[in-house]
Amino acid sequence: MGRPPKSSVRKSRLPNGIRVLTEPIPQFSSATIGIWVENGSRFESPTQNGISHFLEHMLFKGTERRTAFEVAEEIESLGGSLNAFTGREVTCYHAKVLSEHLPIAVDVLSDIFLHSTFPEEEIERERTVVLAEISEVEDSPDQYVQVLFDERFWPDDPLSRPICGTAETVSGMSRADFVAFVQERYRPDRVVISAAGGVDHDWLVDEVGKRFGHLGGTANRPAEGLPAPALQLGVHQKPLEQVQMMLGMPGLSAVDEERYAAFVLNTALGDGMSSRLFQEVREKRGKAYSIYSYFDSFSNTGSFGIYAALRADSIAEVVEIVRAELAKLEREGLPPDELERAKNQIKGGMLLSLESTAARMRRLAINEIYFGRNIEPHEVAASISAVSSDDVLAMAGRLFRDGRMAAALLGNVADTALDEAALGLA
């Protein structure tokens, strides 16, 4: 084997603690930059639920130098894009532009991050938008069933609460709440700035130092607790054409040392049209329109889930098929050809993603936040390649050994045959 390619990734830490990471790719004509804050809905109190997401919206609603229109127009007039997202444990503000316009992107992002004014009239307008977004989730059955599942799976824990908050919590948030939350959480020790594509590391560090160097203090946020998942059945009646079903069980944290075996197992089981669940449930039996599996992983815990959209009279049969496939994996692992196919699927998808500066920017930040170091693609590929059938077998035993699953059903499910015994809970 040849030597792995030398990494172009660089990292610097400002005196105040802000971390700056870059992956210069001179041949790319674009650059993507993100300002990441290690803060999300997991670190909110019950009355604060949704404030991280609402605040993310408000940072685009005007600064001391720019109106809300000017914030959007300055990037879009260059053909670029400006956006943000909030998760359970992170919030990110990001922009993608032609490399020559990166200084403007840095200026706009730093302006909204440091100098947003939170006008009262904009708060009221955006409150209506956020409330509409909450309603939209409730009107999107495939998203809403995940919310319902989390409520039951993580009882009495912030992970059980929706990222967007509720109508009640969002309606009670004021300008003073946003100002205090920024002062409390948006501190330099929890900020990572990452960029990939046509970017010069030394230039970016200098720019970040000029704009963010005055920030001080440390973030005050609750520590991540270790929640205890609850395996139970939740049935939610709603007039829908299809039933939305979520099955789940305890999974892995984002930093679990055995995560690569889990990636391979999940790919073979339920990731894509060639996966076991899709082939068995949809293609061979026609029992579901959509079915897939996934890991939902956080810093110290996680879940493994299976989603399906199906008819009510197919629920019991599909659960039986799923349980049979899980038991088969626990009993047999993966045969060599399927094992290799799953590995190649993961590695191929990862390599294709490297054509995107946005994906590279995200990878830099996530690796820093969760691992404290850069993990090169060749290292990930080597770890995937090293996964054996015994590793998959051990992971299946770890995940599925007691045969118990939580479930959430949404739709016309009053007369469903599914009960706790079918889920191994009785």
**pLDDT per residue as tens digits for the range 254-287:** 999 999 999 999 999 999 999 999 999 999 999 9
Q: What is the phi-psi region of residue 395: left when phi exceeds 0, alpha when psi lies from -120 to 50, beta otherwise?
A: alpha
DSSP 29: S
Written as one letter, the residue type at 180 is: A
Maximum C-alpha span of the chain? 64
CA distance linking residue 152 with residue 117, whole number of Å: 38
pLDDT of residue 4: 59
Quote the pTM value.
0.94
Written as one letter, the residue type at 156 is: D
- Output the CA–CA distances (angstroms, integers) from residue 352 to 131, 136, 356, 360, 364, in the order listed: 37, 32, 8, 11, 16
Query: Mean pLDDT over residues 166-173, rounded?
Result: 97
pLDDT of residue 25: 95
- Model confidence at 1, pLDDT cuts 50, 70, 90, reads very low
DSSP 394: H
CA distance linking residue 147 with residue 153, whole number of Å: 10
Kindly tell me the burial class for residue 341, based on how many C-beta atoms sit within 10 Å of its own C-beta (0-12, 13-18, 19 or more).
middle
- Output the CA–CA distances (angstroms, integers) from residue 149 to 161, 270, 286, 287, 290, in the order listed: 10, 19, 25, 22, 18
Q: Which of 64-68, 221-225, 307-311, 359-363 has the lowest mean pLDDT?
A: 221-225
pLDDT of residue 419: 81
Taken in order of first residue, the domains within the chain and their CATH numbers are: 10-212 (3.30.830.10), 233-411 (3.30.830.10)
Task: Find the helix or strand (DSSP H, E) in which 270 lies.
Answer: helix 259-270
- Phi–psi pair at 173, nearest 5 degrees: -85, 135
CA distance linking residue 399 with residue 306, whole number of Å: 13
Instruction: Tell me which of 38, 44, 56, 330 is the catalytic residue.
Output: 56
CA distance linking residue 24 with residue 194, whole number of Å: 11
pLDDT of residue 7: 80
Tokens 């909450």 identify what position?
134
Tokens 């089981």 identify what position?
269
pLDDT of residue 425: 80
CA distance linking residue 252 with residue 262, whole number of Å: 8
Angle at 130 between CA 128 and CA 134, to 5 degrees: 115
Q: Decide if 124 is catalytic.
A: no
SS3 assignment, position 7? coil
User: Of 236, 212, 256, nearest to 111 (Cα)?
Assistant: 212
